[in-house]
Amino acid sequence: MRMLSRSISVAGLALCLCAGRLLAQESGGSNFRWYVGGHGGVTFFSTPTGSSEMPVAGGHLLIVAKRTGLLLSLDHGFGSNETSSYDFVVVDSAGSAVNQGTVSTTFSGLRKASAVLMVFPIKNDYVNPYLGVGVGILHTTGNDPDNEATSALGSSGFGSLIGGLEFRISRFTAFGQYQITTKPQVDEVRTPIAGGLELREFGRLTVDGTHTLTAGLRFDLGSSRESVKTGGYK
């Protein structure tokens, strides 16, 4: 899991650097527009025990230069006793299984942090469709039991695609969007125990990708250059 988190962090840094270069190319390096806002909606997810959904709310920062942008967002899903499970096996020094089974778990929420490189393909002063590709990290919260295994198996990196439509009125922008994330890979936690045995816990608390529908409002904070007028992605 540490290697995966490190890889996702590196990928996120690379995405931000790539976005910075694209934004600089679009704007001459200084004409960025900054937007901050909030959003809410619903996310759909699956666990080893079934599929469910929960309401989500969050905030975001959008940096735009003409037709490209970088979206940084944090979402939290509010659930209650969402059921899940993971498997375990106890092996001896020769690698033979001496015990195995399934651990039932629950969690109360999903927290998702995303960094997305955005493209606004159509230039318009009022309505703009947009697309995005990015990376992020998804965590389960309120795990029961709350231990090293549920912490590791409840956290996963993902790739992400976003599509949406925004409507601008003065310095406010209303929007609706859909985000899909990739399926997490199976992870494993190994713990030495007495008698030369090793406990191996593996699986994921969430499986498949998540699907999230949100709508929200963001406010134009203005340009990084005072002499540039407000008014959007010109």
Per-residue pLDDT of the chain (234 residues; tens, 9 = 90+): 444 444 444 444 444 445 445 444 544 444 688 999 999 999 999 999 999 999 999 999 999 988 899 999 999 999 999 999 999 999 998 989 999 999 999 999 999 999 999 999 987 778 999 999 999 999 999 999 999 999 999 999 999 999 999 998 888 999 999 999 999 999 999 999 998 999 999 999 999 999 999 999 999 998 755 444 444 444
Tell me, yes or no, whether 197 lies in a domain.
Answer: yes
Tell me, yes or no, whether 233 lies in a domain.
Answer: no
Domain CATH for 84: 2.40.160.20
Tell me, yes or no, whether 33 lies in a domain.
Answer: yes
Tell me, yes or no, whether 64 lies in a domain.
Answer: yes
Tell me, yes or no, whether 78 lies in a domain.
Answer: yes
Domain containing 218 equals: 2-223
Closest to 37 in 3D by CA, of 78, 75, 89: 75
Tell me, yes or no, whether 230 lies in a domain.
Answer: no
User: What is the value of pTM for the model shown?
Assistant: 0.80
Peptide bond into 184 cis (omega under 30): no
Tell me, yes or no, whether 51 lies in a domain.
Answer: yes
pLDDT value at residue 51? 95
Length of the chain: 234
Please, what sign has the CA dihedral across residues 29, 221, 71, 150?
Answer: positive
Structure tokens at 120: 């606004």
Tally of domains in the chain: 1
pLDDT value at residue 124? 79
The residue behind tokens 């959003």 is 39
